[in-house]
């Protein structure tokens, strides 16, 4: 995976009246090229329609979280989910988890929590400073508490890139946050 920024969705964190589809489309215009669609609480039909709408956006890789979807380009598995065939990644919570995931054939991993997260208060403690050292042979994205102020530090610590949810989803101007993240990762 070449991208340095994965955006994870959570429409519940968006400002009132803001559409998730429109927000993602605007972020793509700002340079976003990969999104992980969570929205696990949506009815199956509505979630499939959302994934299909997003998959129609040019230059956007759409990854479905936990639930295989034929319109998605890939699947991101939770730490506890069984291995699947096809292009997929996995959520990990330690460097050992990342090594096991890489050995099992995943294409990428998220490693969390990088920092304290407003989206998951109390989730942690944050990973030790050396969690991203070594080369597992796959891109590893720092997840948890990521914002424009610490994205570059995560990459300097050894992460391939960052995975972000709350800093973008809760922002008054999500597009501006995505643009700042991309600038920090350039």
Residue 153 has pLDDT above 70, yes or no: yes
Q: In percent, how much of the chain has pLDDT > 90?
A: 90
Residue with tokens 């969390």: 112
Q: What are phi and psi of 183, to 5 degrees?
A: -65, -45
Mean pLDDT value across the chain = 95
Q: pTM value?
A: 0.95
The Cα–Cα gap between 183 and 177 comes to: 10
β pairing state of 61-65 and 161-164: unpaired
pLDDT in tens, 85-143: 999 999 999 999 999 999 999 999 999 999 877 776 666 678 887 899 999 999 999 99
- Summarize the confidence of residues 11-32 as an average pLDDT: 97
Does residue 28 contact residue 59 with C-beta atoms inside 8 Å? yes
């Amino acid at each position: 995976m070449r991208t340095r920024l994965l955006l994870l969705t959570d429409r519940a964190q968006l400002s009132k009246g803001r559409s998730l589809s429109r927000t993602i489309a605007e972020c793509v215009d700002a340079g976003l090229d990969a999104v992980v669609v969570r929205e696990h609480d949506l009815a199956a039909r509505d979630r499939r329609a959302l994934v299909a709408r997003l998959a129609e956006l040019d230059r956007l890789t759409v990854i479905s979280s936990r639930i295989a979807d034929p319109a998605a380009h890939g699947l991101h598995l939770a730490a506890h989910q069984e291995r699947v065939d096809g292009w997929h990644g996995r959520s990990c919570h330690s460097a050992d988890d990342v090594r096991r995931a890489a050995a099992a054939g995943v294409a990428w991993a998220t490693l969390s929590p990088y920092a304290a997260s407003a989206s998951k208060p109390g989730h942690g403690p944050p990973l030790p400073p050396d969690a991203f050292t070594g080369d597992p042979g796959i891109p590893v994205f720092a997840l948890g508490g990521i914002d424009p102020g610490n994205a570059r530090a995560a990459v300097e610590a050894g992460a391939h890139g960052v995975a972000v949810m709350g800093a973008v989803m809760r922002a008054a101007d999500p597009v501006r946050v995505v643009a700042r993240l991309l600038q920090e990762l350039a």
